[in-house]
Amino acid sequence: MNILFMGTPEFAKVSLEYLVNDNFNVAGAITQPDKPKGRKMVLAPSPVKEYCLRKNIPVYQPQSSKSAEFFELLENIAPDVIAVVAYGQILPKNVLEYPRYGCVNAHASLLPKYRGANPIYAAIAEGETATGITTIYMDEGIDTGDMILRESIQIGENETYGELYGRLAQMGGEALAKTLAQIQDGSAKREEQPKTGASHTKKTDEQTREIDWSQEAKKIHDKIRALSPSPAAFTRINGKKMIIYKSEITRENSESCIDAECKDGFVRILELQPEGGKRMSARDFLNGNKIEKGAVWGG
């Protein structure tokens, strides 16, 4: 079975690794064009491209999935199936219908919940205790196709986006490899997504990142987890910006900790980055700084 892989970030690279390690015939990979990074804005390849170059997998970077160049690639590679993981572009109908076995996607949520590009953030920010991976046959909708596999894991009460991302990347790779094996041997099932319970994710922005201390402690704690390590939640203390990476909920205020009061208790800050400083533990911050009682949070 000739497989064309499409993906861009680290999450996708892990899935590609699983396919290579399981000896699937990956005929090529399509990833997003190199993007400028860092202060000098030097063009950098995606994690998928870096992996392909190391493994001598043919890699392509068309600007658009709707271009003639893109379709010409399909005709040259002639895939039996296209495996898509966090590629970053919506595929048109002529691409979706090209392979004999269709296009298969591994999505980081328990569909139909959290369709769209930001499912891991959404699950944590909404206080979910479980999430997972769903593999689907892609259609023209956004993550609306028929399900093949749906596997779940628990989310830790203090688990951050970065930690859950790593676990789901591994789970996604396993699920995609299992899905393609089932397609190859003819045992893959096809199940329509539930008609109820669908939701869509939103992009984060500066307003999303800023903490509202009038909310409940759990809501604030979940926001901090969902945005860590990047782009990271932030607040202001007496007008100075502070980025917060890790926290926990506490009901009692301790003078030896950084406990920010909110609607129904306190959020204890464990890791932070003060304005103009570096990331550090709250304990290290307090060794050289003091937050006065009555400090204005969010001011």
Q: For the whole model, what pTM was predicted?
A: 0.94
Answer yes or no: is pLDDT of 299 > 70: no
Answer yes or no: is pLDDT of 146 > 90: yes
Answer yes or no: is pLDDT of 205 > 90: no
Q: Which CATH superfamily is domain 206-288 in?
A: Formyl transferase, C-terminal domain (3.10.25.10)
Q: Where are the domains of the chain?
A: 2-185, 206-288
Q: Which CATH superfamily is domain 2-185 in?
A: Formyl transferase, N-terminal domain (3.40.50.170)
User: Which residue is it, tokens 């658009």?
Assistant: 64
Alpha carbon separation from 280 to 258, 270, 291 (Å, rounded)? 13, 9, 16
What are the φ and ψ backbone dihedral angles of 162, each rounded to 5 degrees?
A: -60, -40
> Which pLDDT band holds residue 253 (cuts at 50, 70, 90)?
confident
Q: What is the pLDDT of residues 55-92, one digit of tens each?
A: 999 999 998 999 888 889 999 999 999 999 999 899 99
CA-CA-CA-CA dihedral for 17, 22, 25, 27, to nearest 10: 0
